[in-house]
Amino acid sequence: MIKKLRLGVLASGGGTNLQAIIDRCTDGSLSAEIALVLSNVPGAGALVRAETAGLATCCLDHRSYPDRESFDRAVVKTLHDAGVELVVLAGFMRIIGEAFVAAFPQRIINIHPALLPAFPGLHVQRKALEYGARFAGCTVHFVDGGVDTGPIIVQAVVPILDDDTEAALAARILVQEHRIYPQAIQLIAEGRLRLEGRRVIIDSPPPSPVAALINPPLP
Ligand code: GAR
């Protein structure tokens, strides 16, 4: 029986990734419990989802702090007070400062709606579409000092279709986000990840995935 990992989920938006994690904790497929849901946006959908699930919530509005450092300090204190072991950024639209990263070494993860290292930053589904890429996807990675630069844990790939809109592509990616974020958290809960340089090595990995994806498919 694996001890449940105590999660602190940080979210700024609607919270569908949070919901996926809540659901996997509830059905027992994730060996984790959500100690706290924290948002920087008053009234965020993620806070409503957390309250509906009976979880502890906290809202720290970044606009009430004079600078990033003081906001980060308040967030770190709140997470420590809640006994958080793993910080899970789930649509948290704030950059994390160095002191925050240092307070949870290799214990902060993020999900990003692109196949990193392509398309870091914002509006990345639109950028992948405009670039003419044939594939897009999502990435769960450890957070380091940079923007979307940390070691990659899991990625999922989706095709970009000729008639795609930004919204349609984002929705296709989001379905996969909801699958791989709980997967990555479970690997951490089971203690199966270690870093070699910036490569994340998985202990007892499942069989290799398909050899190649081609879009458009070969005839
Ligand atoms: C998700 O698509 C997530 O990957 C993205 O925000 C969305 C949040 O949706 N995060 C980022 O872009 C971080 N750079 P949700 O609130 O429904 O989980």
**209 within domain boundaries:** no
- State the total domains in the chain: 1
Distance CA 161, CA 110 (A): 26
Integer Cα distance of 175 and 158 in angstroms? 10
Q: What is the 3-state secondary structure (H, E, C) of 169-189?
A: HHHHHHHHHHHHHHHHHHHHH
Mean pLDDT of 48-52: 98
HSE-up of residue 133 (Cα within 13 Å, Cβ side): 19
Q: Are 73 and 99 in contact (CB under 8 A)?
A: yes
Give a yes or no: residue 218 inside a domain.
Answer: no
**CA–CA dist 53, 49 (Å, integer):** 6
Query: Comparing 211 with 139, which gets the higher pLDDT?
Result: 139
**185 in a structural domain:** yes
Catalytic annotation present for 112? yes
Average pLDDT in the 162-167 region?
A: 98
To test ligand 1's pocket by mutation, which of 9, 10, 16 has the most ligand atoms within 8 angstroms of CB?
A: 16
Alpha-carbon separation of residue 92 from 12, 37, 95, 111, 134 (angstroms): 5, 11, 8, 9, 27
pLDDT grade, residue 207 (50/70/90)? confident
Cβ of 31 closer than 6 Å to ligand 1, yes or no, is: no
> Is residue 197 situated within a structural domain?
no
Find, among 94, 11, 93, the residue nearest to 53 by Cα: 11
**Whether the Cβ atoms of residue 174 and residue 16 lie closer than 8 Å to each other:** yes
| The pair of three-digit structure tokens given for residue 127, joined into one six-digit string | 């950028």
pTM of the model: 0.97
CA atoms of 83 and 35, how far apart (whole Å): 7
Residue at 118 is within a domain? yes
| Residues 117-164: tens digit of each pLDDT | 999 999 999 999 999 999 999 999 999 989 999 999 999 999 999 999
- Find, among 62, 72, 67, 65, the residue nearest to 42 by Cα: 62
The answer to whether residue 160 sits within a structural domain is yes
For the Cβ of 97 lying below 6 angstroms from any atom of ligand 1, the answer is: no
Domain hosting residue 102, numbered range: 5-192
Measuring CA to CA, which residue among 51, 172, 195 is closest to residue 114? 172
14 within ligand 1 shell (Cβ under 6 A): yes
Other CB atoms closer than 10 Å to residue 1's CB: what's the count?
Answer: 4
Structure letter (DSSP) for residue 14: -
Among the atoms of ligand 1, which is closest to the Cα of residue 90? 18
137 lines ligand 1 (CB under 6 A): no
- CATH code of the domain in which 12 resides: 3.40.50.170
Q: Best substitution site from 92, 111, 158, 172 to test ligand 1's pocket, by max atoms within 8 Å of Cβ?
A: 111
Give the pLDDT score at 2.
Answer: 67
Q: Is 139 in the pocket of ligand 1 (CB under 6 A)?
A: no
